[in-house]
């Protein structure tokens, strides 16, 4: 049910925001009755959680190949380009997930798991670039965690501005990642 109605639900989120949106609004926007909506979901929180779950699944599917590229420079460039594409396509849902991650435990867990997957991918790229494995501040895992959250926050803010701001955010994050990996020119 959700797959066919994601665009309508995203439009409602954009127009009304999560707090103002009601189950009745969701049902009407999706072109179904409240009863039909309740057949699938118990609340608006469940609807949005399902939407976030589908979005993060899509994020990971689209991002898997990046970590497998042998050349760290190419992997970083591809990762940043893919990040721009994903924020262009799913920015509203991603911002909603971030906004709700502290108050809706299910969304918080989905977002944290997604970040952990990206941290693992970033760690692999840093290690291929010669950064020592480990969790100390100058080691790959710790650096990857900081890079992941920095990229998330930078794109969160840029996505509220424009596609051009996303490109600028990408260039800046790519430069910082390359510098952190010892690959800047």
Other CB atoms closer than 10 Å to residue 3's CB: what's the count?
A: 8
* CATH number 1.10.10.60 is the correct assignment for the domain at 1-42: yes
* Residue 118 burial (C-beta neighbours within 10 Å; 0-12, 13-18, 19+): buried
Report the share of the chain in percent with pLDDT over 70. 95
> Does residue 6 have a pLDDT over 60?
yes
Question: Confidence class of residue 122 from pLDDT cuts 50, 70 and 90?
Answer: very high
- Which pLDDT score, from 0 to 100, does residue 4 have? 47
- Note the pLDDT tens digit of each residue in 18-69: 889 988 888 888 888 888 888 888 888 998 999 899 888 888 887 766 556 7
Domain ranges, ordered by start, for the chain: 1-42, 48-180
> Does residue 105 have a pLDDT over 80?
yes
Mean pLDDT is highest, among 11-20, 86-95, 140-149, for 140-149
Q: Quick one: angle between helices 44-63 and 23-30, nearest 10?
A: 60
Topology of domain 48-180, per CATH? Tetracycline Repressor; domain 2 (1.10.357)
């Amino acid at each position: 049910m959700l797959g066919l109605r994601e665009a309508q639900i995203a439009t409602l989120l954009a127009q009304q925001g999560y707090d103002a949106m009601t189950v009745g609004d969701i049902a009407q926007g999706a072109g179904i009755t409240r009863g039909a909506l309740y057949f699938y979901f118990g609340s608006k929180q469940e609807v949005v959680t399902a939407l976030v779950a589908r979005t993060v699944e899509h994020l990971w599917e689209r991002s898997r190949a990046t970590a497998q590229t042998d050349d760290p420079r190419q992997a970083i460039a591809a990762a940043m380009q893919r990040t721009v594409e994903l924020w262009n396509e799913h920015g509203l849902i991603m911002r909603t997930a971030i906004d709700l991650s502290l108050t809706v435990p299910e969304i918080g867990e989905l977002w944290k798991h997604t970040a952990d997957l990206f941290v693992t991918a970033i760690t692999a790229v840093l290690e291929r670039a010669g950064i020592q494995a480990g969790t100390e501040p100058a080691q790959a895992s710790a650096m990857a965690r900081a890079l992941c959250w920095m990229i998330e926050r930078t794109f969160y803010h840029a996505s509220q501005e424009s596609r051009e701001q996303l490109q600028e955010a990408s260039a800046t994050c790519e430069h910082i990642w390359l510098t952190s990996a010892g690959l800047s020119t």
